[in-house]
Amino acid sequence: MRFDLVTLFPDFFTSPLRSGLLGRALNKAIATVHFTNPRDFALDKHHRVDDEPYGGGVGMLMKPEPIFAAVESLPVLPRRAIVLMTPQGEPMHQAMFQRLAIDCEQLIMICGHYEGVDERVLNLVTQEVSLGDFVLTCGEIPALALLNGVIRLLPGTVGKAESLKAESFEDGLLDFPQYTRPSTFREWDVPAVLRSGNHQAIAQWRKTQQIQRTRDRRPDLYNRWLESQSGQESYDSEPHEG
């Protein structure tokens, strides 16, 4: 899968793309990442990419011409999405990552700066995406999160594909508690059910813990999960003794 980052600061991505799963995915050519700097397409001798907003106001806006020229300079793959990173966009979620990983051959991410971009840039993009309901100094931070979330879902990135199916949000619930050795650390013991070898009991305990954890920590997710379970078998939301 090809990723194109339209960014004023390509060096921002240098270390993350060399590290961990992202670095291995790029080394194995599971994904390729390319950078295009809008400043290279600025029309004046000073290579300005920002200007004052019409109507007045605080701060500067990114001009449309360099952004359009940068995106239009890129190769066009048959199935591509052009995403603008903006606080006004749809908040990222796991289903978004899954859809992009499956549906796209090319993902173009436009990283905003200053007070945002000229509104006419929206005529270029297919989707606006946000990291959350807050404002950051640059679009590179959410772009890196989106890049990470999509690449890790591509076949071959994660060693065991089964592990992707048992993560938070994959079935609409948070993940269950997990433990490793030692079985006792200070005064805290690993639940007995996890040491029992009874796989059916372990699976039930984990499901119950997922439901309770989601109910307690993310009532919004829990309510959506309940709606999705309408008409299906209900689960006991109280924890099993272990």
For residues 41 and 130, state if they share a domain. yes
Phi, psi of 134 (to 5 degrees): -160, 170
Q: Which of 215, 38, 229, 237 is nearest to 139 (CA)?
A: 38
For residues 134 and 189, state if they share a domain. no
Task: Please give the pLDDT value at position 232.
Answer: 61
Give the structural domain span for 179: 168-228
**pLDDT, average across residues 192-212:** 96
In CATH, what number is assigned to the domain containing residue 185? 1.10.1270.20
Confidence of residue 164 (pLDDT cuts 50, 70, 90): low
For residues 146 and 181, state if they share a domain. no
Strand 2-6 versus strand 106-111 pairing type: parallel
**pLDDT averaged over every residue in the chain:** 91
Task: Please give the pLDDT value at position 170.
Answer: 63
Does the residue 118 lie in any domain? yes
For residues 37 and 121, state if they share a domain. yes
pLDDT higher than 60, residue 234: no
For residues 24 and 108, state if they share a domain. yes
The CA-atom distances, in angstroms, between 199 and each of 22, 143, 180, 195, 206 are 33, 40, 17, 10, 10
For residues 67 and 118, state if they share a domain. yes
Please, which residues have CB within 8 angstroms of residue 69's CB and are 6 or more apart in sequence?
Answer: 38, 41
Residue 32 tokens read as 């390729």
Does the residue 110 lie in any domain? yes
Number of domains comprising the chain: 2
**pLDDT, average across residues 63-81:** 97
Kind plus residue range of the DSSP H or E element containing 220: helix 219-228
Confidence of residue 1 (pLDDT cuts 50, 70, 90): very high
pLDDT higher than 70, residue 161: no
Q: Please state the pTM of the whole predicted model.
A: 0.85
Q: Is 139:86 a contact under the CB 8 Å cutoff?
A: yes
Outline where DSSP puts E strands in 15-65: 32-36, 50-51, 61-62
Task: Please give the pLDDT value at position 235.
Answer: 47
Please, which residues have CB within 8 angstroms of residue 24's CB and are 6 or more apart in sequence?
Answer: 157
